[in-house]
Structure 1
């Protein structure tokens, strides 16, 4: 009875408002494709964020469970990271047909510094982390900007991955301890304000080269094909957002995508330690090597459609 009264009230309301249902239906038909498109653009990035937060939640549960079973492993996070690596590799294979060329360039022991181009969202690095952990049995150490540690809900994941603040002393310590360390000199600036032309935005950064020389560590240049086509940063209002970022360091540029494009990570030949090379010279050489890798393997400007088609054609060639 109450339900019928509600229906009658709504119908009378529509009649009093003189709403043209046919017109509303026409509007919905007209704008439905646009609504679906916008939903897809912003829903897919939400999926990867849910995956990341799910990973963090898994680490949190694992941590407390493992405290009750301390004998499970000497390393608190070993089992968790191994499990997550399998999940991330599965995600990479299914969604991006992900491959790595040059994985053998990662030595089985000793320090090594990986320098890479920073996409809008570095999912290629997450995938590489899984590959190296599973197939080279080495865990990449990572440094991140300070704002990353202020993101709520990711504390357990940051702890499990042993992500540290991005300082020269911390980077040097990790290399001196014999770890594999990954650094993107372009950082957040390159992630947000580079584009599908894949230009490096390093300014005059050479701290990574100084750290590598001091730690006597080789450098491996890295680039992932189509990483900008997988996730893109909005270009609307970029000048204003760039000004805000330079003043506040707030990463306010929206990203969209997680498109199922083909992704291939290329690991170059190690650049060995040379005591006679200055940080400026070494930084320039690494930058040149990565630019060569981009020129060799990446179609510019990038195309999401062509990057998707790379999954079905010979993706080893740049068209």
Structure 2
């Protein structure tokens, strides 16, 4: 505190209020708080800049939290029904329907989820569903929920190996019939009369596709061979705006190199925007013994591409997808 400040305060000591004000300013000068307002302004600006950025990276983690809450529910359900397990062949039916109801509600509230062409899914008997893979395939979770609730059926799913290595996911994958995907296991599931869903693009499509919705299937034809060996129809599927809901930074060169070199599916995912989701099921492609696996794979790829061309404006746009929430009815072409 400077001598001039002391003298100034002493000069006004007779006036109590003036003395207190003067003392406060002198203390502010001594503590170096004169720039506090500037610091707060900078902090406010940084919060304004980075808060939206933080939100778009945090929202995808909420989906992971929902998945773990689903797993926790399954564990509680299992403990509660241990005594009934020996007497009930469908122990997990109640759990599946409960979780399906919760996920269907999430889809309806957050994305206004709709599904078109559910009549293409048979009420009984096998069928192979082939779909486009979003950055986070949450649209597929909603589809599974609708199959359980509307058709009273479960749909087996093929997932990448890394999913089976995630801590705590084992029970969830077992209850919802998720498999690694060897062709023999897939064929057996279909021959047993189950529905089966495969995304030929898989992790590669999830990470490296973008708002232009390219199909990254490469030369994969195993799914087509599964359909031929099982003699079942293939149902193409695509969800409108799935890339606007969640997006991946996998298109950056570093993350592409990381995956191609070490097969590590590590790329930041951002989004969680409440955009409109509509799932479209195309016309089933029937079994044809005269078609090769390569020809069938190309035919299915064209069918999925046709759904994209018909129902998705390219490039995708988050704002437009958000505004579509306010369209009361979908105009079928």
**What CA distance in whole angstroms lies between the structure 2 residues aligned with 1:112 and 1:296?**
23
* Greater CA drift, 165-174 or 208-217: 165-174
Q: TM-score, normalised by structure 1?
A: 0.91
Structure 1: which 4+ aligned runs deviate by more than 2 Å?
14-20, 68-74, 313-318
Q: Residues 167-212 of structure 1: CA distance to partner in whole angstroms, max 9, x if unpaired? A: 1111111111111000000000000000000000000000000110
Q: TM-score, normalised by structure 2?
A: 0.88
Q: Which residue number corresponds to residue 75 of structure 2?
A: 60
Work out whether residues 56 and 154 of structure 1, in 8 Å CA contact, stay in contact via their aligned partners in 2. yes
1:272 aligned to which of 262, 272, 286: 286
Q: Which residue number corresponds to residue 198 of structure 1?
A: 213
5+ residue gaps, structure 1, are 1-11
Report which of the two structures shows the higher radius of gyration computed on alpha carbons: 2
2:183 aligned to which of 168, 172, 189: 168
- The correspondence of residues 208-287 of structure 1 with structure 2, limited to 5 A, is 208-234=223-249, 238-287=252-301
- The correspondence of residues 144-163 of structure 1 with structure 2, limited to 5 A, is 144-163=159-178
SS in 2 for 1:199: coil
**What CA distance in whole angstroms lies between the structure 2 residues aligned with 1:315 and 1:290?**
23
Distance 1:296 1:203, change over 3 A: same
Work out whether residues 120 and 255 of structure 1, in 8 Å CA contact, stay in contact via their aligned partners in 2. yes
Work out whether residues 57 and 156 of structure 1, in 8 Å CA contact, stay in contact via their aligned partners in 2. no
5+ residue gaps, structure 2, are 1-26
Q: Residues 127-181 of structure 1: CA distance to partner in whole angstroms, max 9, x if unpaired? A: 0000011001111101111110110122221121121112111111111111100
Alpha-carbon offset, residue 239 of structure 1: 1.5
Distance 1:21 1:285, change over 3 A: same
SS in 1 for 2:218: coil
1:77 equivalent in alignment to 2:73: no
Work out whether residues 159 and 179 of structure 2, in 8 Å CA contact, stay in contact via their aligned partners in 1. yes
**What CA distance in whole angstroms lies between the structure 2 residues aligned with 1:299 and 1:177?**
39
